[in-house]
Amino acid sequence: MAGPKSSKSSSPSDKSVAVSTLWKSYTQQTPDRLKLIDAFLAFIVLSGVMQFMYCVLVTNFPFNAFLSGFASSVGQFVLTASLRAQVNPQNSSEFKEVSPERAFADFALGSIVLHFFVFNFLG
């Protein structure tokens, strides 16, 4: 039988302190290159959410257009997250053979191929 639940819960001020500490640590310790990639990731997520909301709330008439746009957002997010993982200095032990320039070239080539297929799917 489970014991009694603790009546002690975290207050909203504890959560705001945790969030502010996290944000302060992020702004101080994260390199500018990774912050730029994170901003692009946030833009991609916002773009995908807006496309999905438009499809749900307004219309999905050219369904291929919705699928292409949403697949483009998801694919670009995956490619950008991979780029972030490869150029992160803390992951240099995992990607010993991959230089930041090589990671960006892979990202650019993958993006070109992705958008070629997306454009092709539009018809």
Produce one character per residue of 100-121: b if its CB has 16 or more CB atoms within 10 Å, e if not.
eeebeeebeebbeebeeebeee
Position 30: which residue type? T
In the predicted model, residues of the chain with pLDDT beneath 70 are: 1-10, 123
Q: pLDDT by residue (tens digit) across 41-52?
A: 999 999 999 999
pLDDT digits (tens, 9 = 90+) for 78-96: 999 999 999 999 988 899 8
Asked if 53 and 99 count as a contact pair (C-beta separation under 8 A), the reply is no
pTM for the whole thing? 0.82
Q: How far apart are CA 75 and CA 84, in angstroms?
A: 14
